[in-house]
Amino acid sequence: MSDFVTPLRGRIVIRELRADRTGLIWHPVSGDPNDRRKERSHRGIVMAMGAPMWSSEKEGAVECPHGFKVGDVVHYVFWEHLAERGRTTIWEDGEPVVWMTQSEIIAVEES
């Protein structure tokens, strides 16, 4: 059995693009431990993704396309306070990643 996990429907794996970390610990620039939670959005690179999620329309479910692909730089938010806790893991390359839902991706940077 492989240690690599494949994301399922609507799940995205992101590597945050920040230089202020050591392992799984992020170091706030200001020294305030709550500072990072005050950020409106985060920026990262898509490492892996599952199939698109489905809407829950009453008339029938519709697949919601991602609008981005593996390798794209995206902006994302955590919908719940401290939602990052428990969603950061080590990826197959030994570096930390964050597991997101497709709905938490709010923008894609154009190259």
pLDDT at 82: 55
Residue 22, φ and ψ in degrees, nearest 5:
-130, 110
Which domains does the chain show, CATH number per domain? Answer: 11-108 (2.30.33)
So what's the pLDDT on residue 101?
A: 86
Buried residues in 74-108 as b, exposed as e (16+ CB within 10 A): bebbbeeeeebeeeeeebeeeeebbbbbbebbeee
pLDDT for residue 40: 65
Using CA atoms, how far residue 55 sits from 62, 64, 103, 111, in Å, is 5, 6, 11, 29
Q: What is the pTM of this model?
A: 0.71
Dump pLDDT digits (tens) for 11-55.
899 998 875 655 555 555 554 555 555 556 788 999 999 888 887
**72-103 confidence digits (pLDDT tens):** 999 888 766 556 667 888 888 888 898 888 88
